[in-house]
């Protein structure tokens, strides 16, 4: 299906959220990809660029 991101690998918690509010999106709704961290295969930050890391990585409503 055009415009889809596929399915997450088993064992990883991935969802689609509203990029502004952080609210979970309904199925078939566009949004930002959110991955629960820590995740063993996820980028932990940009090399020598803590400002870029701060801008891209946000805490969820439960602090994760």
pLDDT tens-digit map of 4-47: 667 888 888 888 888 888 888 888 888 888 888 777 777 888 89
Q: Is residue 48 in some structural domain?
A: yes
What pLDDT sits at residue 62?
Answer: 62
| Structure-token pair, residue 17 | 């959220």
pTM over 0.75: no
Q: Is residue 5 in some structural domain?
A: no
What pLDDT sits at residue 64?
Answer: 56
Q: With H, G, I as helix, E, B as strand and everything else as coil, classify residue 34.
A: strand
What pLDDT sits at residue 4?
Answer: 67
- How many domains are contained in the chain? 1
- What is d(CA 6, CA 19) in angstroms, rounded to the nearest whole number? 19
Q: Is residue 6 in some structural domain?
A: no
What pLDDT sits at residue 1?
Answer: 47
- Four-residue CA torsion sign, 56, 59, 60, 61: negative
Q: With H, G, I as helix, E, B as strand and everything else as coil, classify residue 64.
A: coil
Domain span holding position 29 = 11-57
Q: Is residue 2 in some structural domain?
A: no
């Amino acid at each position: 299906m055009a415009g889809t991101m596929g399915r997450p690998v088993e064992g990883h918690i991935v969802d689609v959220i509203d990029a502004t509010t952080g609210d979970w999106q309904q199925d078939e709704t566009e949004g930002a990809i959110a991955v629960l961290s820590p995740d063993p295969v996820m980028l932990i930050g940009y090399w020598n660029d803590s400002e870029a890391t701060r801008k891209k990585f946000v805490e969820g409503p439960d602090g994760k």
